[in-house]
Amino acid sequence: MTAQGTIVEDEGSAIFALAAELYPICRSITGDGVRETLAVLGRHVPIETTEVPTGDAVFDWTIPREWNIREAYIEHESGRRIVDMRNSNLHVMSYSAPVRTTMSLSELKPHIHTLPAQPDLIPYRTSYYAENWGFCMAHRDFEALSEGSYRVVIDSTLANGSLTYGEFFLRGEREDEILLSGHVCHPSLANDNCSGLALLTRLAQELSRRKTRYSYRFVFAPGTIGAIAWLARNETRVARITAGLVLSCVGDGGGPTYKRSRRGDAFVDDVMTHVVRHMAPSGSIIDFSPYGYDERQYCSPGFNLPVGLFQRSLFGTFPEYHTSADNLDFIKPEHLAESYRMIRAAIDVFEHNAAFVNLAPKCEPQLGRRGLYAGVGGDKDAPANNMAMLWVLNLSDGTHTLLDIAKRADMPFERIRLAAERLAANGLLAPKA
Ligand code: ZN
């Protein structure tokens, strides 16, 4: 393995370790779980948090009451706890109102959610905007419940408070921004979205050590309402967003999948299509649809931002999705590393894409005389590198960018960029004025 390869594999392990640290935290769209999550991420990069008060109007929505939970369990009259949130925070339906009562099995049953088709898994359920309470459990355990009375306790609070989101901003040479966004509201689900939050945080850390052309804005917000609140608070600034990606489910072995922005032909769509094609031939590019993650808000018609969604397996298509099987065994460092590599490759395109001008455009310049034309037979990359130089020279008439050339040559952007660098170093190419 090359040194570069080793660095990225290590990155996969580091992302995994951070995802594992986030995994046990009981998150929801508001509450201390979100704050604790942002505090963990904040140990790696300085995250600025914003608290949006309960009752604030954000476009057509209202910030709900803040939800916090301390414990939740169901105890049979025999004293046996049949469900305990301490074993999995998926056991309690998110946003459950407080309950402390005793009831019969038949009264309790309508409040229990299971997955009959996946009888060993606990489902993930929420009830954010309709006050309710509920538990989730494995169908197999549900079927084994015996008659009798049950003590039901949900020690939660639904009270005026706030919704919390976090941002990390990295100033580049330009004011134009690349937006990178992940939802921070799911409880113990590893792929969806501890993986995305961990990857974004490690990426933010890496970028903060570089000088960048673009400014980078990382948004860690609760799904839907958090992204809506962020957009409501930043409406005047979003015109600076040149490209954006929502990241979730980046650690499983499927895909990868890129879902285009609503525009369909934005720069980010071009870049991600190129990256997926060259780095993951098994990957797929799908069209925008108004369902999914926060690209739904960023791509709503009043904003229509150039923001796409990057995932490995597409949400809703894998059996582990929104169940207790989306755990730390489901995500792997090597898949996280590959996702990281792809997002980094996309950033390399954002950072380095430009148009150049061939300074010796009349016939081909003599590359051999300059030591640029590598002989065939030695370096196995030589023929491809030679072709890359010929493509760059031929298409660098000031109208084609390096990405245009990479697409036309059907070569990875990196190879084209390095060819352009070599040609520029030898006085054959100059940036377009
Ligand atoms: Zn989800």
Q: What is the mean pLDDT of residues 300-329?
A: 97
- Interval between CA 261 and ligand 1 midpoint (Å): 19
What gap in Å lies between CA 226 and CA 29, rounded to an integer?
Answer: 7
Residue 223 is predicted with a pLDDT of 98
- Interval between CA 62 and ligand 1 midpoint (Å): 21
- Interval between CA 119 and ligand 1 midpoint (Å): 20
Over the stretch 197-208, which tens digit does the pLDDT of each residue have?
999 999 999 999
- Structure token pair of residue 399: 């109208």
Q: What is the 3-state secondary structure (H, E, C) of the chain?
A: CCHHHHHHHHHHHHHHHHHHHHCCCCCCCCCHHHHHHHHHHCCCCCCEEEEEECCCEECCEECCCEEEEEEEEEEECCCCEEEECCCCHHHECECCCCEEEEEEHHHHHHHEECCCCCCCCCECCECCCCCCCCEECCHHHHHCCCCCEEEEEEEEEEECCEEEEEEEEECCCCCCEEEEEEECCCCCCHHHHHHHHHHHHHHHHHHCCCCCCCEEEEEEECCCHHHHHHHHHCCCCHHHEEEEEEECCCCCCCCCEEECCCCCCCHHHHHHHHHHHHHCCCCEEECCCCCCCCHHHHCCCCCCCCEEEEECCCCCCCCCCCECCCCCCCCCHHHHHHHHHHHHHHHHHHHHCCEEEECCCCCCCCCHHHCCCCCCCCCCCHHHHHHHHHHHHHHCEEEEEHHHHHHHHCCCHHHHHHHHHHHHHCCCEEECC
Strand partners, 81: 75
- Interval between CA 217 and ligand 1 midpoint (Å): 22
Predicted confidence (pLDDT) at residue 388 exceeds the cutoff of 90: yes
Q: Quick one: 3-64+162-351 is in which CATH superfamily?
A: Zn peptidases (3.40.630.10)
- Interval between CA 192 and ligand 1 midpoint (Å): 5
Residue 433 is predicted with a pLDDT of 87
- Interval between CA 409 and ligand 1 midpoint (Å): 38
- Interval between CA 126 and ligand 1 midpoint (Å): 11
- Interval between CA 224 and ligand 1 midpoint (Å): 11
What gap in Å lies between CA 350 and CA 83, rounded to an integer?
Answer: 49
What gap in Å lies between CA 100 and CA 16, rounded to an integer?
Answer: 38
Q: What is the mean pLDDT of residues 147-173?
A: 98
What gap in Å lies between CA 247 and CA 196, rounded to an integer?
Answer: 5
- Interval between CA 151 and ligand 1 midpoint (Å): 30
- Interval between CA 185 and ligand 1 midpoint (Å): 9
- Interval between CA 70 and ligand 1 midpoint (Å): 23
Residue 164 is predicted with a pLDDT of 98
- Interval between CA 322 and ligand 1 midpoint (Å): 6
Over the stretch 59-103, which tens digit does the pLDDT of each residue have?
999 999 999 999 999 999 999 999 999 999 999 999 999 999 999
- % of the chain surpassing 90 pLDDT: 95
Q: How far lies 91's CA from each of 33, 70, 117, 210, in Å? A: 16, 13, 18, 43
- Interval between CA 94 and ligand 1 midpoint (Å): 13
Q: How confident is the model at residue 275 (pLDDT cuts 50, 70, 90)?
A: very high
Predicted confidence (pLDDT) at residue 3 exceeds the cutoff of 60: no
Q: How confident is the model at residue 326 (pLDDT cuts 50, 70, 90)?
A: very high
Lowest-pLDDT choice from 30-39, 149-158, 373-382, 408-417: 373-382
Q: How confident is the model at residue 1 (pLDDT cuts 50, 70, 90)?
A: very low
- % of the chain surpassing 70 pLDDT: 97
Lowest-pLDDT choice from 34-43, 222-231, 324-333, 380-389: 380-389
Predicted confidence (pLDDT) at residue 2 exceeds the cutoff of 60: no
Q: What is the mean pLDDT of residues 168-173?
A: 98
Inter-axis angle of helices 413-425 and 402-409, nearest 10 = 120
What gap in Å lies between CA 58 and CA 61, rounded to an integer?
Answer: 5
Count of other CB atoms within 10 angstroms of residue 237: 12
Q: How confident is the model at residue 153 (pLDDT cuts 50, 70, 90)?
A: very high
Q: How confident is the model at residue 380 (pLDDT cuts 50, 70, 90)?
A: confident
- Interval between CA 223 and ligand 1 midpoint (Å): 8
- Interval between CA 194 and ligand 1 midpoint (Å): 11
Question: Which CATH code for domain 67-159?
Answer: 3.50.30.90
Residue 413 is predicted with a pLDDT of 98
CB 29 within 8 A of CB 22: no
Over the stretch 348-360, which tens digit does the pLDDT of each residue have?
999 999 999 999 9
Q: What is the mean pLDDT of residues 134-140?
A: 98
* pTM of structure: 0.96
Q: How confident is the model at residue 258 (pLDDT cuts 50, 70, 90)?
A: very high
Long-range pairs, 362-366, Cβ under 8 A, ≥24: 364/390, 364/393, 365/393, 365/428
- Interval between CA 389 and ligand 1 midpoint (Å): 45
Residue 339 is predicted with a pLDDT of 98
- Interval between CA 343 and ligand 1 midpoint (Å): 21
- Structure token pair of residue 42: 């904040």
- Structure token pair of residue 32: 């201390």
- Interval between CA 57 and ligand 1 midpoint (Å): 24
Predicted confidence (pLDDT) at residue 382 exceeds the cutoff of 60: yes
Count of other CB atoms within 10 angstroms of residue 13: 13
Spell out the domain ranges in the chain: 3-64+162-351, 67-159, 355-431
What gap in Å lies between CA 159 and CA 31, rounded to an integer?
Answer: 10
The average confidence (pLDDT) of the chain is: 96
Residue linked to tokens 């996969």: 12
Residue 376 is predicted with a pLDDT of 61
Burial class (CB in 10 A: 0-12, 13-18, 19+), 115: buried
- Structure token pair of residue 312: 């490995």
- Interval between CA 247 and ligand 1 midpoint (Å): 11
What gap in Å lies between CA 348 and CA 345, rounded to an integer?
Answer: 5
- CATH class assigned to 355-431: mainly alpha
Over the stretch 409-429, which tens digit does the pLDDT of each residue have?
999 999 999 999 999 999 999
